[in-house]
């Protein structure tokens, strides 16, 4: 919703008005303003400018947040996203990133007034990474495919144009950048769109264009603006590009394979790294802007530091690549035309440049003086940034952080309204807005809900509306205050465009094309073997010969000293095999031996014992009357609507199953399994809220103190604005806090408690316990099992596990009857890029600096306690700017928990640790793993360690290093070869 009604008031600020006048006159300067005021400042300047206004940010996340905030202040704002890869890497950026970049360049060069897709830009938000990276010449002139209802379309010509723009043909559209033709129906998934589009023709005329779901291919609704399909790649393999590839193949032997594929029109992964060789030229973004375009640099000090890091990291990666090439790796491409540019060469180019800083003028002047004395203007200091002729300060400040103290917030807002201030509170949805209105009204504060603030909200009133924005501001001179939901609750806004992506399709069973040599296979008759290869064989006489495909599976040798026996399984008999899912490396069985028969007999006996126990338990449960929870309440629907992601099909099914169990008069006992990041916690959040809505208490049981804190943050964020009291019990709780929580549970004041095994002691009493959520139940000690079993006959129990251990074992230790499995990964989740090689300091420092560039964190695993401190010191010397800490099992419990807690809170960047991080950590911001001496780890350990990264939307990297000065054993070589080859999603399940 819009906040444009406040713009005239904010524009009357003397500093903001003077800055706008200076920009209109073509003068540069510096304006000190809080971060929450920068979006309306940019919107005001854009309303007076004849060109788009560029807002330069230090990171891509800041660019996303700024773009979301600008949507409330102006129309026509867009971000120019950065590649996720470095220019020289042989990795392709994500297809939606490239498509969005091309769409922005098209709107910048060829705006069409009133067009829903190609309308003119008012504000262009650019992270410095995008600003410094050269752009392939001519991207803005690539013509998108445009189809509207009523158009006459030549279907073969349309599909040929889409193919030229990089769209891949598929039988069924399942991913961005794909197209499919069936009769008179054309399905296309433009990468910048949230859903694929279906174009239905009647003859040659377009009859309908509708969005549809990739999950079930069902229609979601009409697409009123039609189809606008921009190219999927920045380097399209045109005839000219293919000719250049053929010519360059001989003079660039290090890229011969990629160039040969490009010459044939096949886009190899990482083909974009060859852009300087294959494209007609490279341009600077600043040269593509209209003359006189104003540039607003948000936090210039951080922008310059990030720019220096980008250049240094790219150079370091090239040096590391050349070092690796000396040992036999691929030779890097020396494509300097694609390298990041020097910010000093671009600063001030084009139109007027203004720096939007958080530092007050006195500190800016002092920093400028210090920079001049030190000569910092040329090497990343701030003197060059503040040497502008105009320096002024807006009459606004940051909002006081309330961190969930609604009583204090209500008191302050009531006071401001009484003084005649105009106060606006923004929320991410209507539900939180209604709840905040209730809280403020009960405090006697004049408050009103509004769909939009597109006119003056009036003095003496608190107006609540829905709008995006990371932070607010307070302007005393103007008597205007804007507070965001995050300012009041203490949590950052979560909803971004990328978060609303659709989930991927459910993973299928055994697919021979996805098997890798070394994968373990279970055959119904012969047992556990190792997949070798897929071969074709011709059988039968020449007049009746038939060629069939076979999977070759190797088993243990029947005689000692002999090679392993091999089994050829035809592809039409795949129903007899399945992939091995155990967490440990298994032993191969012998073909035709008794080992497998004995194993199956033992399993059958164990199953019979489990079945007897289940029958007994089920009989007891059927006789036990539990609470039948009521149907969903309006608040339940509000909570679920506020979920910032699109639920996967597995989640939707499981949520319905859990709710149905809770609404039965028999106690629920359900196991929920799935990889980290697949949505188990959200199901627990909804189940717990359902119980609380019925007046019952909920206990969330976790195995470690760290997980107590993690779940507390998650539940607090999701329940923000709802009247839910949450407490915690762990070793970090003081005696006073522990007593308060116990008293709250006994009195019913606390609705939900999150704790470790301390919750199972007799000293903890609940007034009305209705649901127990158990995370990683298999990690609790035997002494706690009896207590857990007793709970199952009295209250509803939801158990969660991210560790896919054999189902019979899980049922044996927890008495499970019902099970739900989450196996659909989110679309943005990507396989972990895995590198195996000899250890070099250059590779280590380059990997760490690469992660720091995106504000990420690093796990560095060194599994020897006696030398771990010296290794940490070495890492610190290699990357002096990184904050490094150490964690290992010999630290005191409180000290270890504190270190892990600080890492989770991003208090430092690199955690040098032993394998204590192998399981139990969920730190989505840590997306680089470095394992020292990977040759001494088991295969299952390497998989477990790799599962620590790649849990968010960021591309994750895993580096497995071995000593370059000593020979690997055959076993170590096979392990590292397998871990390098097996990078599919789910391979690193924790």
Instruction: Give the span between the Cα atoms of 471 and 457, in whole angstroms.
Output: 19
880 and 938 inside one domain: yes
Q: What CATH code is carried by the domain that includes residue 43?
A: 3.40.50.11180
725 and 621 inside one domain: yes
Nearest to 354 by CA among 10, 3, 49: 49
Q: What is the mean pLDDT of residues 871-887?
A: 95
Report, in this order, helix, strand and coil percent for the chain, each rounded to 5: 40, 20, 40
111 and 201 inside one domain: no
pLDDT of residue 431: 80
Say which DSSP state 377 is in. G
User: Are 464 and 450 contacting, i.e. CB atoms less than 8 angstroms apart?
Assistant: yes
910 and 958 inside one domain: yes
User: Are 456 and 493 contacting, i.e. CB atoms less than 8 angstroms apart?
Assistant: no
pLDDT of residue 562: 83
Tokens of 683: 């199901």
Residue 169 confidence (pLDDT) above 70: yes
Q: Cα torsion at 546, 551, 556, 562 (round to 10°)? A: 50
Q: What is the mean pLDDT of residues 423-446?
A: 90
User: Are 728 and 712 contacting, i.e. CB atoms less than 8 angstroms apart?
Assistant: yes
Q: What CATH code is carried by the domain that includes residue 554?
A: 2.40.10.170
Lowest mean pLDDT among 5-19, 112-126, 975-989: 975-989
Residue 70 confidence (pLDDT) above 80: yes
Instruction: Tell me how many domains the chain contains.
Output: 6
Q: What is the mean pLDDT of residues 645-665?
A: 88
Residue-wise pLDDT for 345-359, tens only, equals: 999 888 899 999 986
Residue where a domain stops, chosen among 478, 500, 522: 500
DSSP 803-870: ----HHHHHHHH---EEEEE---BTT--PPEEEEEE--HHHHHHHHHHHHHTT-EEEEE---GGGHHH
Q: What is the mean pLDDT of residues 836-860?
A: 90
pLDDT of residue 505: 43
Lowest mean pLDDT among 97-111, 781-795, 965-979: 781-795
Q: What CATH code is carried by the domain that includes residue 487?
A: 3.40.50.11140
Q: What CATH code is carried by the domain that includes residue 179?
A: 3.30.2060.10
pLDDT of residue 374: 31
Domain that holds residue 806: 606-822
Q: Cα torsion at 137, 99, 309, 471 (round to 10°)? A: 130
Q: What is the mean pLDDT of residues 404-433?
A: 91
User: Which residues lie below 8 Å from residue 517, measured CB to CB, with a gap of 6+?
Assistant: 531, 532, 533, 978, 981
Residue 600 lies in a domain: no
Lowest mean pLDDT among 6-15, 153-162, 534-543, 715-724: 534-543
Say which DSSP state 590 is in. B
Residue-wise pLDDT for 662-690, tens only, equals: 999 888 888 888 766 678 899 999 999 99
CA 387, 390, 393 angle in degrees (round to 5)?
110
111 and 128 inside one domain: yes
Please report which confidence band the pLDDT of residue 989 belongs to, taking 50, 70 and 90 as the band edges: very low
Residue 267 lies in a domain: no
Residue 263 lies in a domain: no
Residue 239 lies in a domain: no
847 and 977 inside one domain: yes
Residue 367 confidence (pLDDT) above 50: no
Any bridge partners for residue 700, and if so which?
Answer: 754, 773
User: Are 155 and 196 contacting, i.e. CB atoms less than 8 angstroms apart?
Assistant: no
Whole-Å CA distances, 888 to 732, 891, 899, 903: 19, 6, 10, 14
Instruction: Give the span between the Cα atoms of 555 and 126, in whole angstroms.
Output: 56
Residue 986 confidence (pLDDT) above 80: no
Q: What is the mean pLDDT of residues 710-717?
A: 87
Count other Cβ atoms within 10 Å, centred on residue 327.
10
Whole-Å CA distances, 57 to 30, 33, 130, 376, 851: 15, 15, 10, 21, 18
Lowest mean pLDDT among 173-187, 323-337, 672-686, 919-933: 323-337
950 and 897 inside one domain: yes
Residue 300 confidence (pLDDT) above 70: yes
Residue 237 lies in a domain: no
Residue 744 confidence (pLDDT) above 60: yes
Nearest to 433 by CA among 686, 716, 721, 36: 721
Residue 7 lies in a domain: no
Whole-Å CA distances, 39 to 50, 304, 480, 491: 18, 21, 15, 20
Residue 458 lies in a domain: yes
Strand arrangement, sheet containing 391-393: 77-79, 123-127, 53-57, 295-298, 353-357, 29-32, 391-393
Nearest to 288 by CA among 39, 38, 46, 51: 51
Strand arrangement, sheet containing 219-222: 168-169, 178-182, 185-188, 197-202, 205-212, 219-222
Q: Quote the distance between the C-alpha of residue 393 and its chain's center.
A: 37
Whole-Å CA distances, 633 to 29, 414, 661: 54, 31, 17
This prediction has a pTM of 0.71
433 and 469 inside one domain: yes
Instruction: Give the span between the Cα atoms of 754 and 245, in whole angstroms.
Output: 60
Residue 9 lies in a domain: no
Check residues 222 and 965 and name the one with the higher pLDDT.
222
Q: What is the mean pLDDT of residues 52-71?
A: 94
Residue where a domain stops, chosen among 393, 421, 445: 393
Residue where a domain stops, chosen among 593, 622, 649: 593
Q: What is the mean pLDDT of residues 383-397?
A: 67
pLDDT of residue 324: 54
859 and 796 inside one domain: no
H or E stretch at 162: helix 155-164
Residue 633 three-state SS: coil
Q: Is 531 exposed, middle or buried (0-12, 13-18, 19+ CB in 10 A)?
A: buried
628 and 666 inside one domain: yes
Any bridge partners for residue 929, and if so which?
Answer: 859, 958
Residue-wise pLDDT for 481-530, tens only, equals: 999 988 888 765 544 444 444 444 444 346 676 678 888 899 888 889 99
Residue 87 confidence (pLDDT) above 90: no
pLDDT of residue 601: 83
pLDDT of residue 541: 60
73 and 152 inside one domain: no
pLDDT of residue 900: 84
468 — phi, psi (to 5°)? -95, 145
Check residues 285 and 778 and name the one with the higher pLDDT.
285
Please report which confidence band the pLDDT of residue 802 belongs to, taking 50, 70 and 90 as the band edges: low
625 and 550 inside one domain: no
Any bridge partners for residue 30, and if so which?
Answer: 355, 391
CA 583, 587, 589 angle in degrees (round to 5)?
130
pLDDT of residue 68: 93
295 — phi, psi (to 5°)? -120, 125
């Amino acid at each position: 919703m819009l906040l444009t009604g406040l713009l005239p008031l904010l524009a009357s600020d003397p500093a903001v008005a003077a800055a706008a006048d200076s920009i209109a006159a073509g003068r540069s300067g510096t304006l000190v303003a809080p971060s929450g005021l920068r979006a309306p400042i940019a919107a005001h300047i854009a309303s007076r400018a004849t060109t788009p206004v560029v807002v330069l940010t230090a990171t891509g996340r800041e660019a996303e947040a700024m773009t979301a905030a600008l949507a409330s202040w102006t129309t026509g704002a867009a971000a120019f996203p950065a590649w996720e890869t470095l220019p020289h890497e042989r990795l392709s950026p994500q297809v939606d990133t490239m498509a969005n970049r091309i769409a922005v360049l098209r709107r910048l060069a060829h705006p069409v007034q009133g067009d829903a897709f190609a309308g003119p830009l008012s504000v262009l938000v650019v992270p410095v990474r995008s600003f410094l990276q050269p752009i392939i010449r001519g991207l803005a002139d690539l013509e998108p495919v445009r189809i509207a209802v009523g158009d006459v379309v030549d279907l073969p010509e349309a599909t040929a144009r889409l193919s030229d723009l990089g769209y891949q043909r598929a039988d069924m559209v399942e991913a961005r950048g794909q197209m499919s033709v069936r009769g008179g129906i054309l399905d296309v998934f433009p990468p910048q769109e949230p859903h694929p589009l279906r174009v239905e023709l009647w003859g040659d005329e377009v009859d309908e264009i509708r969005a549809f779901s990739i999950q079930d291919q069902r229609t979601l609704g009409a697409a009123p603006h039609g189809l606008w399909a921009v190219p999927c790649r920045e380097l399209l393999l045109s005839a000219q590009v293919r000719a250049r590839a053929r010519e360059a193949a001989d003079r660039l032997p290090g890229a011969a394979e990629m160039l040969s594929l490009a010459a044939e029109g096949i886009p190899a992964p990482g083909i974009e790294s060859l852009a300087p060789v294959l494209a007609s030229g490279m341009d600077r973004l600043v040269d593509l802007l209209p003359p006189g375009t104003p540039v607003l640099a948000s936090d210039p000090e951080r922008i310059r530091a990030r720019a220096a890091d980008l250049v240094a990291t790219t150079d370091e990666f090239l040096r590391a690549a050349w070092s690796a090439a000396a040992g036999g790796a691929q030779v890097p491409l020396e494509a300097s035309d694609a390298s990041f540019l020097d910010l000093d060469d671009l600063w001030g180019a084009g139109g007027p440049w203004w720096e939007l800083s958080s530092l007050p003028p006195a500190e800016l002047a002092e920093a400028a003086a210090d920079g001049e004395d030190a000569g910092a203007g040329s090497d990343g200091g701030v003197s060059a940034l503040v040497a502008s002729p105009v320096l002024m300060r807006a009459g606004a400040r940051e909002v006081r952080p309330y961190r969930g103290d609604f009583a204090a917030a209500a008191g302050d807002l009531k006071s401001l309204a009484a003084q005649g201030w105009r106060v606006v509170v923004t929320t991410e949805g209507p539900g939180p807005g209604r709840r905040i209105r209730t809280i403020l009204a009960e405090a006697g504060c004049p408050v009103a809900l509004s769909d939009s603030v597109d006119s003056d909200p009036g003095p003496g009133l608190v107006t609540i509306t829905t709008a995006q924005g990371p932070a607010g501001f307070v302007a005393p001179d103007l008597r205007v205050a804007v507070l965001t939901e995050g300012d009041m609750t203490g949590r950052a806004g979560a909803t971004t465009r990328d978060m609303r992506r659709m989930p991927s399709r459910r993973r299928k069973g055994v697919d021979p094309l996805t098997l890798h040599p070394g994968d373990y296979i279970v055959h119904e008759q012969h047992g556990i073997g190792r997949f070798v290869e897929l071969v074709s064989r011709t059988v039968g006489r020449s007049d009746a010969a038939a060629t069939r495909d076979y999977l070759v599976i190797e088993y243990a040798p029947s005689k000692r000293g002999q090679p392993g026996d091999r089994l050829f399984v035809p592809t039409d008999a795949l129903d007899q095999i399945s992939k091995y899912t155990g967490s440990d490396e298994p032993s191969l069985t012998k073909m035709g031996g008794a080992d497998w028969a004995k194993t199956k007999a033992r399993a059958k006996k164990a199953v019979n014992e489990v079945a007897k126990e289940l029958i007994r338990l089920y009989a007891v449960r059927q006789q036990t009357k539990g609470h039948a929870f009521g149907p969903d309440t309006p608040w339940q629907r509000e909570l679920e609507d506020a979920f910032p992601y699109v639920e996967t099909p597995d989640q939707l099914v499981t949520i319905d199953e859990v709710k149905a169990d809770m609404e039965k008069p028999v106690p629920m006992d359900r196991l929920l399994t799935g990889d980290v990041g697949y949505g188990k916690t959200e199901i627990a959040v909804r189940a717990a809220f359902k119980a609380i809505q019925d007046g019952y208490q909920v206990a969330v049981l976790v195995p470690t103190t760290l997980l107590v804190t993690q779940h507390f943050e998650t539940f607090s964020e999701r329940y923000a604005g709802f009247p839910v009291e949450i407490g915690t019990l762990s070793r970090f709780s003081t005696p006073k806090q522990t007593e308060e929580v116990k008293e709250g549970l006994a009195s019913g004041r606390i609705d939900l408690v999150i704790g470790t095994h301390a919750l199972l002691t007799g000293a903890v009493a609940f007034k009305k316990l209705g649901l127990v959520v158990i995370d990683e139940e298999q990690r609790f000690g035997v002494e706690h099992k009896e207590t857990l079993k007793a709970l199952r006959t009295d209250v509803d129990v939801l158990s969660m596990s991210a560790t896919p251990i054999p189902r019979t074992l899980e049922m044996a230790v927890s008495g499970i009857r019902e099970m739900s499995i989450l196996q659909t990964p989110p679309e943005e989740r990507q396989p972990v890029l895995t590198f195996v090689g000899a250890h070099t300091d250059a590779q280590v420092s380059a990997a760490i600096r690469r992660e720091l560039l995106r504000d990420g964190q690093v796990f560095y695993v060194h599994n020897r306690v006696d030398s771990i401190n010296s290794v940490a010191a070495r890492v610190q010397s290699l990357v002096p700017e990184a904050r490094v800490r150490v964690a290992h099992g010999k630290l005191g419990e409180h000290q270890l928990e504190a270190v892990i807690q600080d890492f989770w809170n991003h208090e430092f960047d690199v955690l040098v640790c032993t394998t204590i991080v192998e399981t139990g950590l969920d730190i989505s911001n840590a997306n680089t793993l470095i394992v020292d001496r990977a040759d001494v780890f088991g295969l299952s350990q390497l998989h477990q360690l790799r599962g620590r990264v790649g849990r968010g939307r960021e591309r994750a990297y895993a580096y497995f290093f071995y000593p370059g000065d000593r020979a690997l054993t055959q076993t170590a070589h096979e392990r590292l070869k397998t871990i390098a080859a097996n990078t599919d999603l789910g391979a690193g399940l924790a």
